[in-house]
Structure 1
Amino acid sequence: MKLATIRTLDGSTRAVRADGDTLIDLGVADLGELLARPGWTEVAAQDGPAVVAAGFAPVVPNPGKIVCVGLNYRNHILEMGRQLPEHPTLFAKYTEALIGPNDEIQRPAESDQVDWEAELAIVIGRPVRRAGEDEAAAAIAGFAVLNDVTMRDWQYRTPMWLQGKTWEASTPFGPWLVTPDELPGGVRPSLELTGAVDGEVVQRANTADLVFDPVALVRYISTIVTLKPGDVIASGTPGGVGHARKPARYLAEGSVLTTEIEGLGRSEAKVARC
């Protein structure tokens, strides 16, 4: 299934399923509310009225947790001059950072090093703790496009990355949540991912290049904390980030950041100074 949280013409949000070119109202305000319902897949498959979208909200507007993974593509790890990790590098992001896939990215006046990070997002569909292989796979509701826009000058002020990673209105998320059965590779999808700035492709990879795949990430993170429906895991970015270029390159006011993943859709967000 192909699902989304849309903004409607009256200013509210609705969870929808794409049925060809028609959007079917699923009877709840957003996908977070849908995923929290037992048997949500059956609810999502039911018939309902068509609805018109005024735009896309973040796939899950208010996830309980956003867990991000650093240095998880082999080519990006080598690009940054590091060795392949034994364990995932984890940090957090807060819901205030999330925007819709076509909303404006707020470039803060306090940062001159705003960078792009095209990523595959994993969305959780059932509670899971200390998951085994099968439990972790079953807990994955689907996948979405995300860009972990990063303020590098703040990220590297200290060894801890959080302060560069969770600026408000900085992280495009969506448009679609696509269930694993729709994708090549299923819960370990093999999808072409690209990131572009003003039409120039700056990142290109396949999600099969992840060091820690989605199932491995769910297993690892659920060892630490219970993952709940609607929680999001940002699985890391491939090579091609602006900070690693020589000379370094960053997003400017007016830049258009495009993030696209095969089968999951396309995010196109303009950078605005806040």
Structure 2
Amino acid sequence: MKYIARAADGTPLLGDDDGFVPLNAADPALETVEDALAQAPDGLPSPADATAERVAAADLAFGFPLDQPGKLWGIGLNYADHAEDLDEVRPEEPASFIKPPSVAAGPDTPIRLPPADVTDRVTAEAELGVVLGRTCSNVPEDDFESVVAGFVPIIDMTSEDILERNPRFLTRAKSFDTFLVAGPYIAVPENVEEFFDQVAVRTVVNDEVVSENTLDGMLFKPPELLNYLSQSTTFQPGDIISTGTPGAGVIEDGDTARAEVEPITDLETDVVRQ
């Protein structure tokens, strides 16, 4: 599996399980993360052939993996167990919402809870994100791999007390700054079907597993989600579909939130109160 990333200083990176190199050291024609996204469906160069030595992931600080976040689509109640936990009726179609790019943060940025008088019950939700590599619309499920660049761990946040006051407040409840953390890198698997067979998602707060599930627990798999959403919107490189969470955990000032997304990696960040 190969990886696309941005260092905390903004340098685009290409990596594999042995480490990362500057993206343009692997291919001078690839100058930005978006360049790599567009090439990913056809295959990326090998970091082993780069003109720079690989640096281990543990020795790097990663930022948000995209130069410019695009549309950030979220999916609600997409795990059957989670819908049952919330006593919600299973949706017959994907329940979707969209978040502004201003919410996006990387592993180098803590989740910033708003003041308690604005919201005092925020949850963190681990999710698998689908990153688009090409402009597309009306995408058949069989064409999923031809337009998707890769997959990224995500921590999505919800202000539950705001949402409970009125379900029409969903956009506000989801749109505070830093309420979507993604990273540390985008995974580009060689075989997407085999990758899907290995996917497991866990929401972890302070090292305690709050919930976990596999792709088999989804009501709507990623190709179905892209097919459905692309019927009403045109997707562009850097857009992300966050495919839903197996369950949410309440977070407070001083906590640590983690999304464990196999077989990619863990995404962990601190929680602070503004």
TM class by smaller structure: 0.7 to 0.9
Q: Check if 1:266 corresponds to 2:269.
A: no
8 Å contact from structure 2 (residues 75, 97) kept in 1: yes
Q: Given that residues 2 and 18 in structure 1 are in contact (C-alpha distance below 8 angstroms), is that contact kept between their aligned partners in structure 2?
A: yes
| Aligned residue type for 1:272 | V
TM-score normalised over the length of structure 2: 0.86
1: CA distance between counterparts of 2:272 and 2:38?
34
Q: Which residue in the other structure is 1:113 paired with? A: 121
Secondary structure of 2:5's counterpart equals: strand
> 3-state SS of the aligned residue for 2:7?
strand
Q: CA offset at residue 262 of structure 1?
A: 1.0
Alignment of 1:235 with 2:247, yes or no, is no
Give the match's secondary structure for 1:148: strand
Within the candidate set 215, 223, 241, 1:215 is matched to 223
Q: Determine if contact 1:257/1:269 at 8 Å carries over to the other structure.
A: yes
Query: Counterpart of 1:4 in structure 2: which amino acid?
Result: I
SS in 2 for 1:164: helix
Pair 1:164-2:170 in alignment = no
Report the alpha carbon displacement of residue 29 of structure 1 after superposing the two structures with TM: 6.2
Instruction: Tell me how far apart the structure 1 counterparts of residues 232 and 51 of structure 2 sit (CA, whole Å).
Output: 39
Q: Is 1:7 aligned to residue 7 of structure 2?
A: yes
Other-structure match for 2:130: 122
Query: 8 Å contact 1:121–1:146 — kept in the other structure?
Result: yes
Q: Which has the higher helix share?
A: 2
Secondary structure of the structure 2 residue equivalent to 1:116: strand
CA separation of 1:44/1:172 partners in 2, compared to 1, >3 Å: closer, same or farther? farther
2:206 to 171, 174, 198: 198
2:173 is paired with a residue whose SS is: helix
SS at match of 2:64: coil
TM superposition score normalised by structure 1: 0.86
Structure 1 residues 30, 58: closer, same or farther in 2, change over 3 A?
farther
Q: What is the distance in 2 between the residues matched to 1:81 and 1:134?
A: 33
- For the Cα contact (< 8 Å) 1:156–1:164, is it kept in 2? no
Provide the rounded CA distance (Å) in 1 between the counterparts of 2:198 and 2:32. 27
Flag structure 2 segments of 5+ consecutive residues without an equivalent: 25-29
Q: How many residues align structurally? A: 262
Partner of 1:24: 21
1:77 to 65, 75, 83: 83
Show structure 1 runs of 5+ residues with no match: 243-249
Asked whether the 8 Å contact 1:146–1:171 carries over to 2, the reply is yes
Counterpart in the other structure of 2:142: 134
**Larger mean Cα displacement after TM superposition, 18-27 or 260-269:** 18-27
Check the 8 A contact 2:77/2:245 in 1, yes or no.
yes
What's the C-alpha RMSD, in Å, of the aligned pairs? 2.3
On the 8 A contact 2:40/2:149 being kept in 1, the answer is no
Corresponding residue number in structure 2 for 1:92:
98
Note the alpha carbon deviations across 1:120-151, whole angstroms, 9 max, x for none: 10111122211112222322211110011111
Partner of 1:257 in structure 2? 257
Quote the Cα distance in structure 1 between the aligned partners of 2:67 and 2:189: 21
* Conservation of the 8 A alpha-carbon contact between 2:203 and 2:246: no
Contact conserved, 2:41 with 2:149, CA < 8 A, in 1? no
- Equivalent position SS for 1:227: coil
Q: 1:29 to 1:166 in 2, by over 3 A?
A: farther
Cα distance per residue 1:66-123 (max 9 Å; x no partner): 1110110010011111222111011011222111124211011021001011101011
Q: Are the counterparts in 2 of residues 190 and 208 from structure 1 also a CA contact under 8 Å?
A: no
CA apart distance, 1:227: 1.1
Structure 1 residue identity aligned to 2:271: V
Take 2:213 and 2:84, find their aligned partners in 1: how far apart are those partners? 14
Q: How many Å separate the matches in 1 of 2:91 and 2:98?
A: 19
Structure 1 pair 224–273 and aligned structure 2 pair: CA distance change class (3 A): same
